[in-house]
């Protein structure tokens, strides 16, 4: 997923009735203010957890050239909050204008950020805390109605809460890449019996509404709502599991060019990739490293840390394919009884602990078949949470797309270089996860919390 950069405010997308239209979030100003406060507070508590569980050397270190030092993320979170809530919404003078370039995600790549004059950890914490204190004052005094798109229904505050949670997920990835003793702990998901239900679900053909024009805190690439025609297809009831993926390994899947996109085949050969990231074979069994702990790969969990190329190869080996982004969203949102698209598979209510594995409550996916209360009307499970799911689709704008509030969030990434992921993972907070939410990354990426499910045509 992309990172935020400096603000270049624009108007709300043309033709979008604005954030206040969503029935699930249509509320008075004080209820919206309380919602924004909860979202901001939850995000900051998670940021503190991720940056206070290790000592200063780990905050300053670059644990992978793919990731920033944790201390960069910490100050960047504060800087973006200042840019949007204090300067853009409230019109205040810059607190630390000299650091804007250092924490502009587009000005410096992740690989070069350790060489920048970063704020030391304590100074970064003080800066972020001071920004937050002033931002809460702005929240208290901001009108959520009145025609200003950036503040309508608290959009700017929701955007900043989502931004922080997205960086919290990035920091959690850094923790997974970090070498050293375990620093984070969380209870495991509740055990469930091995899933023995239908292997796939038929999604009927016909039109459905994709995207949104009314979700108050939806980001620009989720907009606008539009009709899509979809042919009937079958989709896996649950994500592909470690056990199923091991069958692909045992059958020589990484040694057979038939299953691989040519670019993917070249990539795995060049980098000697023979299994999902963090896996290794030892003593006749597969082990994995997970947040500093080495453990046997659990066969019943959704497979994790696979690239798009690996997901695509498995699907071909299995005689199937990856679902398109449109198919994925129809499976997740379409209610055949009413013909409408829900906010989430289970309905319009915000996610709860019985619906999905979200919010870093756990540090692993739940077993396949978990969360029956979170199933879609057609019976597809775990579409939200657990693992980001690769789709077959390139990251492209919807018809009528307009960048808001700045083109660097989505527009500069549109094109065939990036593949779309859907559904969120255990590392995603509910504020940054919806049935319409779109993630994207290069097809070689594996450090992200990515898995997949497969599909096939109904004909």
CB 420 within 8 A of CB 440: yes
355 is in an annotated binding site: no
441 is in an annotated binding site: yes
For residue 280, the cross-strand partners are 287
422 is in an annotated binding site: no
58 is in an annotated binding site: no
281 is in an annotated binding site: no
234 is in an annotated binding site: no
113 is in an annotated binding site: yes
Annotated binding site: 76, 110-113, 163, 167, 441, 445
Annotated binding site for Fe cation: 76, 163, 167
Annotated binding site for gamma-L-glutamyl-L-cysteine: 110-113, 441, 445
């Amino acid at each position: 997923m992309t990172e935020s950069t400096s603000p270049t405010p624009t108007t709300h997308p043309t033709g979008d009735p604005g954030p206040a239209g969503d029935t699930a979030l249509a509320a008075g100003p004080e209820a919206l203010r309380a919602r924004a406060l909860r979202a901001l507070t939850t995000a900051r508590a998670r940021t503190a957890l991720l940056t206070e569980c290790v000592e200063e050397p780990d905050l300053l270190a670059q644990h992978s050239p793919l990731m920033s030092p944790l201390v960069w993320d910490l100050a960047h979170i504060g800087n973006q909050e200042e840019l949007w809530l204090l300067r853009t919404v409230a019109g205040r003078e810059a607190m630390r204008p000299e650091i804007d370039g250092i924490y502009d995600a587009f000005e410096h790549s992740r690989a070069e950020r350790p060489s920048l004059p970063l704020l030391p950890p304590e100074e970064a914490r003080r800066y972020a805390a001071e920004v937050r204190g002033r931002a809460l004052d702005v929240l208290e005094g901001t009108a959520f109605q009145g025609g200003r798109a950036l503040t309508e229904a608290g959009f700017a505050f929701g955007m900043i809460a989502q931004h922080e949670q997205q960086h919290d997920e990035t920091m959690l990835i850094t923790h997974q890449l970090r070498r050293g003793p375990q620093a984070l702990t969380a209870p495991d998901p509740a055990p469930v019996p091995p899933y023995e239900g239908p292997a796939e679900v038929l999604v009927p053909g016909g039109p459905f509404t994709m995207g949104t024009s009314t979700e108050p805190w939806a980001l620009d690439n989720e907009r606008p709502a539009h009709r899509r025609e979809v042919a009937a297809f079958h989709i896996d009831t649950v994500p592909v599991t470690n056990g199923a993926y091991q069958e692909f390994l045992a059958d020589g899947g990484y040694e057979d060019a038939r299953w691989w996109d040519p670019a993917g085949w070249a990539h795995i050969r060049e980098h000697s990739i023979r299994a999902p990231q963090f896996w290794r074979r030892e003593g006749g069994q597969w082990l994995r490293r997970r947040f500093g702990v080495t453990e046997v790969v659990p066969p019943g969990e959704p497979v994790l840390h696979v690239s798009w190329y690996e997901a695509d190869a498995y699907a071909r080996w299995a005689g199937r394919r990856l679902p398109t982004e449109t198919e994925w969203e129809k499976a997740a949102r379409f209610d055949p009884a009413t013909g409408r698209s829900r906010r989430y598979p289970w309905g319009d209510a915000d996610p709860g602990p019985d619906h999905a594995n979200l919010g870093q409550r756990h540090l692993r996916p739940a077993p396949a078949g978990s969360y029956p209360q979170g199933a879609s009307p057609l019976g597809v499970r775990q579409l939200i949470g657990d693992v980001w799911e690769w789709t077959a689709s390139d990251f492209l704008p919807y018809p009528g797309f307009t960048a808001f509030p700045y083109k660097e969030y989505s527009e500069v990434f549109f094109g065939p270089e990036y593949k779309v992921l859907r559904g969120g993972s255990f590392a995603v907070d509910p504020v940054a996860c919806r049935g319409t939410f779109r993630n994207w990354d290069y097809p070689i990426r594996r450090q992200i919390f990515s898995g997949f499910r497969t599909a096939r045509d109904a004909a």
